[in-house]
Amino acid sequence: MIPRLAWRSIWRNRRRTLITVLSIGFGLACTVFFIAIGEGVYAQLIDQVVRMQAGHITMENPGYRDAPAVDLWIKAPESLRLQIEKLPQVERTKLIIMGQGIARSASGDVSATLMGIEPSVELDTSPLVRHIVAGRYLHDDDGPWVVIGSELAKRLKLAVGKKMVITTNDAAGNLVDELCRVRGIFETGSVEIDGYFIQAPIDFARRLFVLPEESATQLGVVLRIPEAQDFILREARLMVAGQDIAVLPWQEVIPEIASYIKLDKGSNLIFQAILIFLILFTIFNTIFMSVLEREREFAVLLALGTKPVQLRLQILMESACLGLIGCALGLLVGGLAAWAAQVWGIDLRSLLEEGFTISGFAISAKMHARVTTGLLLGTAGLVFGATLILSLIPMRRATRLSIVDQLR
Amino acid sequence: MATIVDLQEVTKDYGQGQALTHALRGVNLVIEAGEFTAMAGPSGSGKSTLLNIMGGLDRPTSGRVEVDGREISDLSNTELGLLRRDRLGFIFQSYNLIPVLTALENAEYVLMLQGVPIAERRARVREVLAEVGLEGLENRFPRQLSGGQQQRVAIARAIVSEPALVLADEPTANVDSKTGTALLDLMHRLNEEKGVTFFFSTHEEAVMKRARRLLQLEDGVILNDGIQTNKWN
């Protein structure tokens, strides 16, 4: 009978119950939706950045992060690569030679980052391929051909097929230069990438930096399932145990992105906390008002011999019912909206024609949400759990009232 | 006859210092099983206080209170609650039914608290509701019942668990005289036929006349305590 009493009691004031349930639902739906959008943008950002760089996990010389230089290359990465690729969570591995140099043309020179890549791998994994605006992307047998950013092309007045020279220091520290031609021009929207970034076939980079066959400064690992990163990290570290190779997560390789996400999540957390506080305040207000209005009724129940614990149970059930209905509504609306935003995306290209950049990395203006069971259940669980905790105060009040005073 | 209530030198004070009020001043009272007793007195004479103390809803300032053979002054709130649940029935002036429960559920509530199986308690409640003249109205909510009908539900709730004593605080005060008479007839019949012990407070002449025993309370003291003989008794 106590559940029946609780259920009927919450519908005694239908309007108030409906407003409360709708408030919980709306607040939770907004929270779920905005967290999902945020998670989606972060996932999109991470995916684009790691695919353009060395993947979710980077294996390199332990000294490379402190003083990046091509002489800190790793030996025989091919055998390591074969081992890593056997793990089912791994999508691709990529060999990279990353170095600095000066790009020169008849019109001038610009300091640039040269990334030696395996074109066939990048064609499958890198978002840069989709940003080619002139010419084409590289092929494995392209030889001394490169792709450059549109800003760099503009500064050096280069077009597809035109010659340029890259001057740099080789692995032994000698000044070297190589002639190459522009195969394609990309435009990502990021000034840093479009203005200072060059990609060339890895064989060309090895020749330029005078590195041996099969050498690389990095072995990157792109994951099929990003959530498996910690597991793969542990596995990879076991594989290189005893070797002079460091295994790093992308957060250590591209710390500016990790910091940005952390900071953004922190500021979002404040917004979400305010939203959840408002939801909880609504629930508390409703439960408390409902208890205050029924003090005489509770006194009658106590007079008839109801144990305080039974009264507490009734109030707890009323709170649980409000919380459950509100959370179910919020999950349904918020979950569906977030799922739609995950499948179809939210297209802001009309507002942000050229997309936007985060820490120099261009992000598409079409945002996709990312909904996970953990997000849905975690957020709803938080609201529901807090609802139950909040009912402790009205519960305490109801069971401590003076029967005589209330019945007077 | 068994003693249901035994009060010895019971006092109850409210307030402190200059605001100190003596609601009861050394009340001695014994209620035996099967009695149909009314307590009369003007407002502020201590009727409700005495009822509350007898019902374990309030504690005396001093004196001894024994209900159903048990000294209750030192019982905890939980123990008092169990005593009220198992041995006492209450009828309030303003019915105090639970608005979201039907007549049947209201009357059933105490049996539910006692852990009586649902089939048994439903059968008992239907029987009692029929006895108080509410057959066919079992599934109505309090708002769908008249004042008299609501008080009948309250009476059914008070007697369904067969308590040792039913305490009624001005049970006819909120109904018209015709309904009040009908309610008194009902309580009288339950007392005579089923042996339910009733102790009720009133300030209505008509109600006082119906009691077999009448107490007169004034300024916290029982001034008169006598057996009445009339056409009903």
A308 part of contact set with chain B, CB < 8 Å: yes
How much is the pLDDT for B65?
94
CATH fit for domain B35-59+77-227, picks 3.30.70.20, 3.40.50.300, 1.10.1040.10, 3.10.20.70: 3.40.50.300
Q: Residue A297 belongs to what H/E stretch?
A: helix A295-303
For B180-184, the CB contacts below 8 A with 24+ separation are B180/B204, B180/B206, B180/B207, B181/B206, B182/B148, B183/B148, B183/B151, B183/B152, B183/B155, B184/B210
Mean pLDDT in residue range B122-132: 90
Q: Let me know the angle formed at the C-alpha of A354 by A351 and A359, rounded to the nearest 5 degrees.
A: 110
pLDDT score, position B119: 94
User: What pLDDT digit, counting tens, does each position of B146-196 carry?
Assistant: 988 998 899 899 888 888 899 999 888 877 888 888 888 888 888 888 888
Interface-testing mutation among A1, A297, A313, A317, with chain B (most B C-beta atoms within 10 A): A1
- The yes-or-no verdict on residue B90 having pLDDT over 80 is yes
Residue A252: both structure tokens together: 């250590």
Nearest to B110 among A304, A308, A407 (CB): A304
Q: Determine the length of chain A.
A: 408
Residues belonging to chain B with any Cβ–Cβ distance to chain A shorter than 8 Å: 48, 52, 55, 57-58, 77-78, 81-86, 90, 92, 96, 98-101, 105, 108-110, 112-113, 157
Q: What is the mean pLDDT of residues B40-49?
A: 90
Give the pLDDT band (50/70/90) at residue A354.
low
Contact B105 A306 (CB under 8 A): no
Mean pLDDT of chain A, nearest integer: 89
Q: For residue A175, which amino acid is it? A: L
Are A4 and B105 an interchain contact pair (Cβ–Cβ within 8 Å)? yes
Tokens coding B162: 């067969």
- pLDDT confidence of residue A225: 87
Q: What predicted TM-score, i.e. pTM, was given to this entire model?
A: 0.76
CB-neighbour burial class of residue B227 (10 A; exposed 0-12, middle 13-18, buried 19+): exposed
Angle, alpha carbons A198-A201-A202 (nearest 5°): 105
Residue B78 CB: number of other CB atoms within 10 A? 11
Interface test with A, best of B21, B43, B54, B96 (most A CBs within 10 A): B96
Chain A residues with CB under 8 Å of B90 CB are 303-304
Tally of CA atoms within 13 A in the half-sphere of A346 that contains its CB: 19
Inter-chain residue contact B100 with A12, CB threshold 8 Å: yes
Q: pLDDT confidence of B232, banded at 50, 70, 90?
A: low
The three-class DSSP label of residue A91 is: strand
- Give strand pairing partners of B165: B88
d(CA B161, CA B87): 8
Nearest Cα of chain B lies from the Cα of A24 at a distance, in angstroms, of: 25
Which pLDDT does position B133 carry in this prediction? 85
8 Å CB contact between A232 and A42: no
Chain B residues within an 8 Å CB radius of A308: 77-78, 81
Question: Long-range contacts made by residues A138-143, C-beta under 8 angstroms, separation at least 24?
Answer: A138/A183, A138/A184, A138/A199, A138/A200, A138/A201, A140/A201, A142/A183, A142/A201, A143/A201, A143/A203, A143/A204
Does A178 have pLDDT greater than 80? yes
Cα–Cα–Cα angle for B134, A11, A334, rounded to 5 degrees: 155
Radius of gyration of chain A (CA): 30
B96/A407 CB distance under 8 A:
yes
Residue in A1, A404, A407 nearest the CB of B112: A1
| Closest residue by Cα to residue A99 from A156, A161, A178 | A178
Most confident of A182-186, A264-268, B75-79, B133-137: A182-186
Burial of A2: CB neighbours in 10 Å, binned 0-12, 13-18, 19+: middle
Residues A304, B113: C-beta atoms closer than 8 Å: yes
Over residues B125-148, the mean pLDDT reads 91
* A404/B58 Cβ within 8 A: yes
The domain limits of chain B are: 35-59+77-227
Cβ proximity of A317 and A2 under 8 Å: yes
Are B99 and A304 an interchain contact pair (Cβ–Cβ within 8 Å)?
no
d(CA B217, CA B171): 18
Sheet of B62-67, strand order: B21-32, B3-14, B62-67, B70-71
**Terminus-to-terminus CA distance in chain B, angstroms?**
18
Q: Which residue of A has its CA nearest to B158?
A: A304
What is each CA distance from A284 to A271, A294, A326, A399, in whole angstroms? 20, 15, 13, 17
Return the DSSP state at B223: E
Rounded CA separation B172/A4 (Å): 30
Residue A1 burial (CB < 10 Å; 0-12/13-18/19+)? middle
B52: nearest CB among A1, A310, A404: A404
Chain A CB contacts of B52 under 8 Å are 404
**Cβ contact, residue pair A303, B84, below 8 Å:** yes
Inform me whether the C-beta atom of residue A224 falls under 8 Å from chain B C-beta atoms.
no
**Looking at residue A74, what is its pLDDT?**
85
What residues does A249 pair with on adjacent strands?
A: A57
Rounded Cα distance, B91 and B163, in Å: 12
**B15: exposed, middle or buried (C-beta count within 10 Å: 0-12, 13-18, 19+)?**
exposed
